[in-house]
Amino acid sequence: MPVAAMRMPMDGCPPFLRWAGSKRKLLPKLKGFWKKDHKRYVEPFAGSACLFFALNPPKAILGDLNPELISTYIEVKYRTDAVLKELRGLPPWNKKEYTRLRSLDPLKLGRHVRAARFIYLNRFCFNGIYRTNLAGQFNVPYSGDGCGSLPEDEVFKRCSRLLRRARFVRGDFETVLSQVEKGDLVYMDPPYAVRARRVFREYDPSAFTHGDISRLRSWMMRLHATGVSFLVSYAESDEADVLKKGFSYETIPVRRNVAGFAAHRAVTNELLISNA
C-alpha cells in the first residue's frame, strides 16, 4: 500500500529533499541557537537545508559543492510550477523509471527537467544518499517502496517562497564563509571525515578529508575572532575533539539508521559546538 504523501505541518515547512545525515531530529535543539538579533542565516553545507526551512530566516546564504543540489534549489525557487509539472508526470515507486532517470546526463536536460530528475532520484534512492562515481555520475541504488513518497505540491510552494530569501553559492565552504558578516548565524554540518575508509554518504569525487577538518577549524577561529556566531554539528570522534577545543559544546544522543536498515539502528552521539 502506498505511503501517504508528505503533508505540510501547520507550524513549519519541511524540506522537500531527503538527506543522509540530516539533522531533522535535532531541530528543537538547533533552533535555539537562532537569536532575535541575528540578521542572516548562512549554511555552507546545505544538504536538505532542514534548519533553514525550520527557522524561516529573513535572509540566507545556502552553499554546497553539489552542482545538482544548488541548481535544483534555484529551479524550485524560481520555476516551481514547471518542476512540479515534470515531477507529477513521473510514476512513483518505479525501479525501471528510477534506473532510466539515473542513466541520463543531467547536463543535457532542460533546467526544470534536471531539477525534477534530481528530486525523484533523491526521494527514491537508498537512504537519501547522494553518491557519485569518480566520473561524477550518480550511482545510488533504488530504495524500493519503503522510502515514502513525493511531498505534496504545497510543500514545494512553501519551500519556494522561503528560498526566495536565500542566495545560493556553488562551491567549497570557504567560498561561502568568506562572505559572512557580523550579525550572521553560520551553521556548519560537514560530511564526516573518517579515518581508513570512505563513508558511503560522502560525495565521492570530493570527500571531506582531514585537511578539510583543519581548514574548518581555522575558519571557526576566524569567525570567533570577528564576532560572527557559529554552530557546528559533528559526530563524536577524534575529529570532533579537534573542532571543539576552546569552544562551548554539548553532546546529544541521536538514534541513527546505520546502513539504512531498521535492524542496524543505533544510538550515537552528536556534538554541537558553538562560540555562543
Task: Give the DSSP per-residue string, 194-260.
Answer: -TTS--TTS-GGG---HHHHHHHHHHHHHHHHTT-EEEEEEESSHHHHHHHTTSEEEEEEEEEEGGG
Q: Among 3.40.50.10860, 3.20.20.70, 3.40.50.150, 3.40.50.2300, what is the CATH number of 24-274?
A: 3.40.50.150
Residues 81-120 pLDDT 10s: 999 999 999 988 889 999 999 999 999 999 999 999 999 9
Q: Do 268 and 192 meet the contact criterion of CB atoms below 8 Å apart?
A: no
Greater model confidence, 28 or 262: 28
| Burial state string for 77-110 with b = 16 or more CB within 10 A and e = fewer than 16 | bebbebbbebbeebebbeeeebeebbeeebeebe
DSSP H/E element including 117? helix 111-124
Q: Do 133 and 204 meet the contact criterion of CB atoms below 8 Å apart?
A: yes
Nearest to 119 by CA among 215, 16, 257, 242: 16
Report the alpha-carbon distance of residue 90 to residue 214 in Å, rounded: 44
Beta bridge partners of 64: 170
Q: How far, in whole angstroms, is CA 60 from its chain's centroid? A: 15
Residue 21, pLDDT > 90, answer no
- Amino acid letter, 139: N
Residue 230, pLDDT > 50, answer yes
Q: Stretch 149-178: mean pLDDT, rounded?
A: 96
**Half-sphere exposure for 100 (CA within 13 Å, toward CB):** 7
Residues 117-129 pLDDT 10s: 999 999 999 988 8
**DSSP letter at 262?**
G
Which residues neighbour 220 within 8 Å (Cβ) at sequence distance 6 or greater? Answer: 230, 232, 243, 247, 273, 275
pLDDT band at 12; cut points 50, 70, 90? low
C-alpha cell, 246: 576552546
Report the alpha-carbon distance of residue 245 to residue 243 in Å, rounded: 6
Which residues neighbour 163 within 8 Å (Cβ) at sequence distance 6 or greater? Answer: 73, 76, 77
Q: How far, in whole angstroms, is CA 107 from its chain's centroid? A: 22
Q: Stretch 183-201: mean pLDDT, rounded?
A: 72
Q: The whole model's pTM is what?
A: 0.88
To the nearest whole percent, how much of the chain has pLDDT over 90?
Answer: 71
Report the alpha-carbon distance of residue 23 to residue 152 in Å, rounded: 22
Residue 38, pLDDT > 90, answer yes
3-state helix, strand, coil in the chain (%, to 5): 40, 20, 40
Residues 258-273 pLDDT 10s: 444 455 557 789 999 9
Report the alpha-carbon distance of residue 125 to residue 119 in Å, rounded: 10
pLDDT band at 76; cut points 50, 70, 90? very high
Where do the domains of the chain lie? 24-274
Cα–Cα distances in angstroms (integers) from residue 59 to residues 23, 38, 70, in the given order: 21, 10, 17
